[in-house]
Amino acid sequence: MGESSSKRYASADEAVIGFLKAYQEKSQNELKEYGAVVYRKRGEYFLGKTHIGVEGSVIGIFLEALNPFKPGRTIGTIHTHPQEIPRAFGTDSKANSFSGMDAVLPGIRYLGAPNGAIYKSVKNRKPNTVIFEGLAKAPNNTMDVKVFGNTKFWAELFFRVKLSFRRLRRSRKTEKQKKK
Ligand SMILES: [Zn+2]
């Protein structure tokens, strides 16, 4: 987790663009999600710590947003999706839109997408908007910059639970094999 930056911006969108210019490509190279919380204080916008997650989540931004001792008012969160994924529930976005889990993030949601665009979601049921294009694209990117629907929450949750059980079972199996 990186230190929070003292840099101030005139708008939340500008703060997000600054963050993603710095971390989008890194996120894609490492196949890890990067994220931050966007704050506002005295009419200026700034970012909290830089969180580094795994492919599929960056839980640190959620935890930081829940922290009652905030350096300012929470405006929203930014995170990246490092590459296209073929499996997305109820959307053909291939991760160029928010996931079902992203719907629980507080405030405005920003996404650095595999197609090099920055998507903004102000309300869960409203369509996303594109606020910037031309960031680094994921090496496996095939998607044009357009607005896609978000992944469906319950279908994705069910899949993620199933996947984690499968991983758990697999790791138990390898552990048993090690003991032999
Ligand atoms: Zn996401």
pLDDT, tens only, 95-147: 999 998 899 999 999 999 999 999 999 998 899 999 999 999 999 999 999 99
What per-residue confidence (pLDDT) applies to 55? 83
Domain limits, the chain: 12-151
Instruction: Give me ligand 1 centre to Cα 173, in Å.
Output: 30
Instruction: Give me ligand 1 centre to Cα 147, in Å.
Output: 15
What per-residue confidence (pLDDT) applies to 3? 58
Cα distance between residue 8 and residue 45, in whole Å = 6
What per-residue confidence (pLDDT) applies to 86? 83
Please, which residues have CB less than 5 A from ligand 1, an ion? 99, 102
Name which of 42, 44, 39 is nearest 70 in CA terms.
39
Instruction: Give me ligand 1 centre to Cα 89, in Å.
Output: 13
Instruction: Give me ligand 1 centre to Cα 102, in Å.
Output: 5
Cα distance between residue 7 and residue 144, in whole Å = 32
> What are the residues whose beta carbons fall under 8 Å from the beta carbon of 92, sequence distance 6 or more?
148
What per-residue confidence (pLDDT) applies to 163? 82
Instruction: Give me ligand 1 centre to Cα 95, in Å.
Output: 8
- Give the mean pLDDT of 20-41: 97
Instruction: Give me ligand 1 centre to Cα 179, in Å.
Output: 38
Cα distance between residue 4 and residue 6, in whole Å = 7
Instruction: Give me ligand 1 centre to Cα 12, in Å.
Output: 18
Cα distance between residue 134 and residue 71, in whole Å = 31
pLDDT digit string, tens, across residues 34-82: 999 999 999 999 999 999 998 888 889 999 998 889 999 999 999 999 9
4 confidence band (pLDDT: 50, 70, 90): low
